Amino acid sequence: MFGMEPWALALALAVTGFAGFVKGAVGFAMPMIMMSAFGSFLSAETALALLILPTVVTNIAQAFRQGWRAAWDSVLKYRLHIGMLMIFIPISAQFVRFIPQGWMYGLLGVPIVGFAALQLAGRSLAISIRHRRRAEAGLGVIGGLYGGISGIWGPPLLVYLLSTGAGKEETVRVQGVVFLISAVMLLGAHLASGVLNALTLPVSALMMVPAMAGMWLGFRLQDRLNPARFRRWTLVLLALTGLNLLRRALGA
């Protein structure tokens, strides 16, 4: 079915639904969860293809949840970071076929574990006002280079938002806006690279259904509960899945 074993397709749908739920509740981690889990039973290239369309549609919902004006204000405020992503995602996407799978898992696992460990330890980074534009641009370049290869560009943005003291609502909305623009760039890049093709495109489209269903449930949790504890458990899960990717990288 769609070039996948039935059990693999069912597991991919379940993972995507859970990832959508987490994203709806805390605003991030959907591509990281999907790539980490998919890496256990799919090739890195197939895993990347499957997450692209769900990422686009869920970020549309997240970015415009407070309306188009708030989303546009976020675009203007973070335009430097967005610009760097738009430049470097299509550049790095062209190299996805040439990176060994072990390196792919390692490139995913290291930042996932590092980001989760940093947040679980309660560490925070404070960026001086005079260095913010350089930090915003530099982290945008890193996110773009990494995102084109793996489909994950969130950790550099999260580091920047946490380091500048952005509030909860702004953090969630900005992530949605930036991730949406980046996801559209990734979509175009991998239509050109061949990662999204006649075989993988229908499966990626199918993944949109559980992604949106999970996100709707996550939005309800975000509205009704303090997300701090849930976010902590999400970070624990990310750390574990990142370690699993590193194990696979060493064994590849």
Q: CA–CA separation, 209 vs 215, rounded Å?
A: 10
Q: What is the pLDDT of residue 129?
A: 63
Q: Is the pLDDT of residue 101 over 70?
A: no
Stronger pLDDT, 40 or 238, i.e. the higher one: 40
Report CA 50 to chain centroid distance, whole Å: 13
Phi, psi (rounded to 5 degrees) for 194:
95, -5
The SS3 call for residue 220 is helix
Q: CA–CA separation, 175 vs 74, rounded Å?
A: 9
Mean pLDDT score across all residues of the chain? 84
- Closest Cα to residue 48, out of 175, 210, 191? 191
Highest mean pLDDT among 21-30, 103-112, 126-135: 21-30
Stronger pLDDT, 232 or 227, i.e. the higher one: 232
Give the H or E element holding residue 184.
helix 168-193
- Closest Cα to residue 55, out of 9, 16, 105? 16
Q: Is the pLDDT of residue 128 over 80?
A: no
Stronger pLDDT, 137 or 102, i.e. the higher one: 137
pLDDT, tens digit (0-9, with 9 covering 90-100), for 5-55: 899 999 999 999 999 998 998 888 888 789 878 988 998 888 989 999 999
Contacts of 72 (CB under 8 A, 6+ apart): none
Highest mean pLDDT among 14-18, 120-124, 152-156: 14-18
